Structures are given as C-alpha cells and as structure tokens.
Structure 1
Amino acid sequence: MEYTIGFIGTGNMAGAIINGIVASHMISPSQIALYDINKEKLESYRSQGFAVCKSIEALVSQCKNVVLSIKPQNFTDVLAQIRPAVNKETVFISIAAGISAQFIKENLGYDVKLVRVMPNTPLLLGCGSSAISKIDPVTEEEFSFVKKIFACAGQVETIDSEKMNEVIPLNGSSPAYIYLFAKVFVDRAVSLGFDADTANRLFCNTLIGSAKMMLESGKTHQELIDMVTSPGGTTFAGLKALEENNFNKALIQCFDDTIKRTYELGQ
C-alpha cells in the first residue's frame, strides 16, 4: 500500500482531521491520499503536497486506512463503488451518524476491519471531542493508530460499539444545542442594550470556566449548581423559571429525539 491514510470526502470534518494530523507532524501530506467530487478543492490540496486520487477505488486500493467522511445518504452508492477494491488489510473509519457496522460490512460484502468514530465540529479548532469504538477484526495496534489520528485534534474517548448512536446527543450534536443556549442568552442581552460581542465574550468565557469546573473540581453537577445558588436569590429565581417551563423535560426529549433520528438515518 502506498499511502498511510486516505479520505473519501474532504468536507469540514475531514478537513479538521487532516489539519490536526498535519499540524501534529504525525503523518506528512505526501502520505495522505484524498478523493472528492469537488475537483477545485482537490487541486488546492494537491498544491499543498497531498496525494490526490482519480477515483475512490484507486484510493481504497492504495491506502492502509480509509476514512469514510461522506454524508449518510451517500453511503450505499459509495460502498458499492469501493467494494471491488476492498482487501482484508484495509481499516475503514466511519464518521457518519447512524450508519451501523453491520450495514457497512454487508454492503462491502466482506468482514472488513472497521472503526466507528463520532467527532464534533470543535475539531476545527483542535479542541474537539471524539467518541470511538473498535469493531472486530480490527487489531489493538490498528485501533491505537486511529485513536492517535483523532487525538491530533482533541480528546478521544473509547466507548462500546453498541453505544455509538446513543453517544451522538452527548458529543456529536451537542455543540448545536450549546450554541442555541448561547444565542438565546446573548440575543436577550442585546435586546437589553448590551454590545453583542461583549455579551458573547461574557457568556463564552463563563462556559469555558464552567466546563473546567465540571472536569477538574471533583464536584458533582448538583454540587456545582448549589455553589452558585443561594436560597431565594437571583440564580434560584432563574432555575425556578426553567423548572416551571419544563426545561429538563425539553432537554431529555432533545436527547431522545436525536438518538431516534440517528436510528432512522441508519435504516
């Protein structure tokens, strides 16, 4: 095999992973092969020293590791195209929501080596979070290599392969829900006369600090809530409003509907 890793699709998420790999000096651009239907994007990568393949079949036949960085609705067509080029040594890495290991193996007609990953968009800044699972017959050495790839752009957590759909609201979709929370608060602050950038910085830096408290303080979520909340105080009033408007129920519904849609996409 000529290349260490190949990417079928070079969208935002693939670009974030590629940038992380190159920035860490883990693999040189010349050892990374790419294929995309966007020829202009491929030429841009070629000018930076990356290998560009004329077809996805050529990419698969020349790469030890192949990242399937395509939309879920395109999987059937893409898997049909690469099926003739599959061999027992290739490790496929899927970052698509809802596409099961069984679906990929059945469509490739072979018990391929497979690793499923659920990354998120903060990988674009090198501070993402990726949930990753090992599917037999991937070896521990091969799995370790894939984990190192995603560690180049953030944190990596190994989870049970049976929980890859359930992790999506925690990890894959959750940035959108956090952004919505921020948008509501910042928009409200602006309506009260705050400068938008100032309000956004105040909220975001509070969010960063709160995340560090959750990760590093050793306290439970409830203990941290109690630290901020005085009986009858301002935070107490805000939490009461959330409770009266079924905030917890709405979040649970959000979590469950995300998982439900993931299974629907995989059918």
Structure 2
Amino acid sequence: METVELRVGFVGAGRMAGGLVRGLLRAGKVPASSILASAPSDKNLDAWRELGCWTTHCNLEVLQESTLVILATKPHVLPGVLQEIRPAVGPHHIVVSLVAGVTLQTLQRLLPSGTKVLRIMPNLPCVVRAGAMVFARGSDAGDEEAALLKNLLSSCGLCEEVPESYINIHTGLSGSGVAYVYLFAEALAEGAVKMGMPSGLASRIAAQTLLGAAKMMLETGEHPAKLRGEVCTPGGTTIHGLHQLEKGALRATVMNAVEAATNRARSMAEDKEQGWGEDLPSPAEQEG
C-alpha cells in the first residue's frame, strides 16, 4: 500500500490530533486532500479546513472515506463512538487509537473480530516534526500495518514499536516529560537573567542548548553520563554547577517525576477500564 494513495481519517479533531496532522502535512507524506476529520462541532474543524483537510460532523463518513482511521476522541466519549462506528468497520480498515488509557484488548473486544487495531502514544512536539512516539499492535495487526504506521509517524519524529506495557511509561517519560523540559529550560534561562542577560536572549540560548544536547545524544548514541563527563574539566565551571544540581537532588527528583506520572497514567487507565470497559457488549455478544 503506497502512502501517497492512503486516505487517513481522524475521528476527533482535538489538540493531539491537530499536532499529528500538522506533522504529517509538513512531512508531505499525506496530502491534505486525502485527510478527513470528524468532530461534533466546528470549534476544532475550522483549523483543519484552513489546512486544506476535509471535515465532517459524521463519524461514519470517516469510516466510509478512509482506510487508516485514527481514533482521537476524549476517553469518556470513546464508548459511544465505538458503538456508532463498529458496524462500518471492515477488513480493509486499519484502526489506530491515540486515546489515553484504553487498552488494545478493550478496543479489540468492542470492534468487529479480526479488526486490525494499533495503539499509539504521541507527544506534542509532533507538530514540529520532533515528536517522540511509541506504538503497539493488536493481535490482528501484522507487519504490513506496523510498517505503514511507523513510516507515517516517523515523519513526525522518533517512532518506536514497543510492548503495550511500555505505553504508560512513555506517557510519564515523554508525554509529560515535555513539561519537565520546559520547566528546566525556564529555570536555566532565569539563572542567566539573574546574572544579567536579557530574558529573550536567555530563553533562546537555553532552548538551543537543550536542542544541541539532545541531538548529540541521538546522533552519537552515547550514554548521557559519558557526554556529561566530556563537558566537565577538573576544577572548571561545569563541575561547580553540577555540584549544585546534585545538592538539589535533581536526578532523584526527575526520576520521581517520571515514576509519579507513569503511576498516574496506569491508575487512570485502570479507572477507565473499570468505568466502561464492560459496559458495551462485543459484536459477537450483540449478534448472539
């Protein structure tokens, strides 16, 4: 299946879906004319139309017009959406969920037997094609579907296939981690402001410093501890600064933040599963 011929549909047109579609469009892998998004009102759809995408208020139309269907609704809306669209889901569809906390097992139970289902977890920098994404495949999604999705998502940044159990960890590390980095960047810049540098310049330099450090990690493949050691000279400025960070327990605090966010993602997922996971009968149960 050639990606240039692919028709992509989004059920839900919120912030994360918008970030993903902007990344896809910037990469030029899917033309706007091959993208259709649905939402109950025009509140979010206006921005999609400005990008040149097709829009509708009918979720079923997305199924009728698309091969790759991306579920991007709020979690509490998803049960009703699945109930609405499942009669239209066919063997030619690839259904991809980016709804937080909803497992592949639940998606497969609430969609027709044999549906090719995958689950992705992107993060906000997908909009600037610098995202970090992971995806897991359901039991009926094969290598072809995984390769297609990875090809598309790689245009928006780093993309890795993982066991589904890693998705909540990814949320704590990268989904929430973007905010940790912004907090660190803000503190870095404010330190320079304290020492007399103008705020705008300090923020730009802080951002470029983070970008450069991240690029070196990715391109060299070196462990961050080794790269950090290469910046330190005996008795120099860097080791004095690092000593202050160690006194403030920066590493332990950041590890605690990833742990807390991961645990919160897990508990939210469990709440969703208990809240509506058993509410809807499966297609087989309905037929019976």
The answer, yes or no, to whether TM exceeds 0.5 is: yes
State the 1:172 CA deviation.
1.9
- Contact 2:89–2:112 at 8 Å: present in 1 too? no
2:88 is the counterpart of 1:85: yes
Matched, 1:140 2:143: yes
1:40-51 matches, cutoff 5 A: 40-43=43-46, 45-46=48-49, 49-51=52-54
Please say if 1:56 is aligned against 2:80. no
With over 3 angstroms needed to count, the CA separation of the structure-2 counterparts of 1:44 and 1:247, relative to structure 1, is closer
Q: What CA distance in whole angstroms lies between the structure 1 residues aligned with 2:24 and 2:251?
A: 39
Aligned residue for 2:169, secondary structure, equals coil
User: Is 1:72 aligned to 2:81, yes or no?
Assistant: no
- Report the 3-state secondary structure (helix = DSSP H, G, I; strand = E; otherwise coil) of the residue aligned with 2:259: helix
CA positional deviation for 1:200:
0.9
Q: Deviations over 1:129-181 (max 9, x none)?
A: 22122222112222222122212222322222332222223322211110010
1:173 maps to a residue whose letter is S
Counterparts in 2 of 1:239 and 1:24: CA distance versus 1, 3 Å: closer
C-alpha deviation, 1:217, in angstroms: 3.1
Counterparts of 2:24 and 2:246 in 1: how far apart (Å)?
44
Is the contact made by 2:98 and 2:120 (CA closer than 8 Å) also made in structure 1? Answer: yes
Aligned amino acid, residue 179 of structure 1: Y
Could you tell me which of 159, 182, 186 is aligned with 2:185? 182
Name the structure 2 match of 1:169: 172
Name the counterpart of 1:158: 161
| Correspondence list, 1:9-24, <5 A | 9-24=12-27
Residues 117, 137 of structure 2: 8 Å contact kept:
yes
Note if contact 1:8-1:34 (Cα within 8 Å) is conserved in structure 2. Answer: yes
Task: Establish whether residue 115 from structure 1 lines up as the match of residue 118 from structure 2.
Answer: yes
Aligned 8 A contact 1:17 1:149 in 2 = no
SS in 1 for 2:172: helix
Question: What TM-score comes out, normalization by structure 2 length?
Answer: 0.82
Consecutive unaligned residues of structure 2, counting only runs of 5 or more, are 271-288
**Aligned match of 2:36:** 33
Name the residue aligned to 1:7: 10
Structure 1: where are the runs of 5+ without partners?
Answer: none
Q: In 1, Cα distance between the equivalents of 2:26 and 2:245?
A: 43
Task: Name whichever of 118-127 and 174-183 sits farther off.
Answer: 118-127
**Pair 230,23 (structure 1): closer, same or farther in 2 beyond 3 Å:** closer
What is the distance in 2 between the residues matched to 1:120 and 1:51?
A: 24
Q: Give the alignment's TM-score, normalised by structure 1.
A: 0.88
Change in Cα spacing, 1:195 to 1:80, as seen in structure 2 (3 Å) is same
RMSD: 2.4
1:97–1:168 Cα contact (<8 Å) kept:
no
Percent of aligned positions that are identical: 30
Residues 168 and 265 in structure 2, CA contact (< 8 A), matched pair in contact too: yes
Instruction: Tell me, in whole angstroms, the C-alpha distance in 2 between the residues paired with 1:3 and 1:227.
Output: 46
- Which residue does 1:233 correspond to in 2? 236
Superposed CA deviations along residues 43-68 of structure 1, whole A, max 9, x for unmatched, are: 55446543323311232243221111
Count of aligned pairs between the two proteins? 266
Q: Aligned to 2:197, which of 188, 194, 197?
A: 194
Correspondence for 1:212: 215
Q: 1:253 to 1:40 in 2, by over 3 A?
A: closer
Q: CA deviation at 1:17?
A: 2.4
Contact 1:68–1:93 (Cα < 8 Å) also in 2: yes
Distance 1:219 1:163 in 2: 22
Q: Secondary structure at the match of 2:90?
A: coil
4+ runs of 1 displaced by more than 4 Å? 46-49
